[in-house]
Amino acid sequence: MSDGWDGDWSTTVGGNIVITEPGMLADEEGYAQFHDPINGFEVTQESFAWQDSAHDDYVIVKYTVGNISSILFDSLYIGHRTDFDVMGDHGSAMTDMGDCDTTRNLAYMWDASSPTHVGVKLLKGNLRGYKNTGWYHEFDAEKFYALSDDGIDSITPGYGDWCIWLSTGPYEVAQGDSVVVAFAFLAGDDLASLQENADSAQAMWHTIGIEESAALDAQIQDMLQITPNPFRQMTNISFGLEHSAQSIELGIFDVTGRLVKSFHSMPNAQGSLQIRWDGCDNSGKHLPGGVYVCRLETDGIIVQRKLVLLR
């Protein structure tokens, strides 16, 4: 069990928080990376937020959870413990309630004094369970139960200072491999608007390409790899083609969608190819730190990978 209370989590080298406004996919995008070498975890966190009225009531957070240990994780559970303290109540007024909409994988809370609802929705991953509890802090066994148990609690039995747990899993993650899960944190004027915003967040997750090439098969996903990422001075962009391609276009785009670095077209290429990029644009000028997108296009297939340049 790894939750950070005992100081086992720390920021990776180059993993400090980077906020980009506007982002490539959203009005504001965030990036950070943390690891727990003791237990063998590395978590890359990406966030996406919008300012237009149709989408400003939720934030999408994507987690890539990697296995940096020397063993197989055969029962990995991932989830959020959320203590909203609706209307500012923090352990005093004791007027919160909680419930779960399993049709939407949505856990939510509200306060006795207001129709406002807030919640967390699982966007990617199978729903494992939902718990409404008091404060789990002391015992790892308690927290592991809240994440791993597949039960769905009923509505909270009364008003109180509740917190809610929403979890997914189990996952089997081999050494050096990773799994992606995603949540939306959202609010609504009432339950109906919260549910509407939850549906909007799910649609946004599926349509704007946050999952990059997740819809493609594994062979195509593996075509484009970038290491190290994040990077400061140099990164290796590698891709492999099983069959000869009539054309290959590879470019780097900034958060506005502007092409800042293009590589020479490579017609009739085949096999494994690697290009080193030094973080400079087409004129040789060093680009500022931030989030960029590497885009590979070959014979009608487009694969994109996000990369972070640190300065």
The domains of the chain, with CATH numbers, are: 10-207 (2.70.98.10), 218-309 (2.60.40.4070)
pLDDT of residue 1: 47
User: pLDDT per residue over 246-293, tens digit each?
Assistant: 667 889 988 667 889 998 666 555 567 889 999 999 999 999 888 888
CA distance 287 to 234: 12
Rounded Cα–Cα distance for residues 207 and 202 (Å):
9
Query: What is the token pair recorded at 294?
Result: 């590497």
Instruction: Quote the pLDDT of residue 143.
Output: 85
Query: What span, in angstroms and rounded, lies between the C-alpha atoms of 211 and 55?
Result: 18
Residues comprising the chain, all counted: 311
State pLDDT tens for residues 196-222.
999 999 988 876 655 544 444 444 556
Q: Please give the model's pTM, rounded to 2 decimal places.
A: 0.73
pLDDT-derived band at 121 (thresholds 50, 70, 90) equals very high
| Averaged pLDDT score across all residues of the chain | 84
Convert the pLDDT of each residue in 27-44 to its tens digit: 998 989 999 998 999 999
Q: Are 97 and 188 in contact (CB under 8 A)?
A: no
What pLDDT sits at residue 48? Answer: 94
Amino acid at 100: C
Q: What is the pLDDT of residue 138?
A: 58
How many angstroms separate the CA atoms of 101 and 298, rounded?
42
Tell me: pLDDT of 68 over 70: yes
Residues 6+ apart with CB under 8 A from 133: 146, 162, 163, 164, 165
- Does the structure show a pLDDT above 60 at 156? yes
The answer to whether the CB of 54 falls within 8 A of the CB of 78 is no
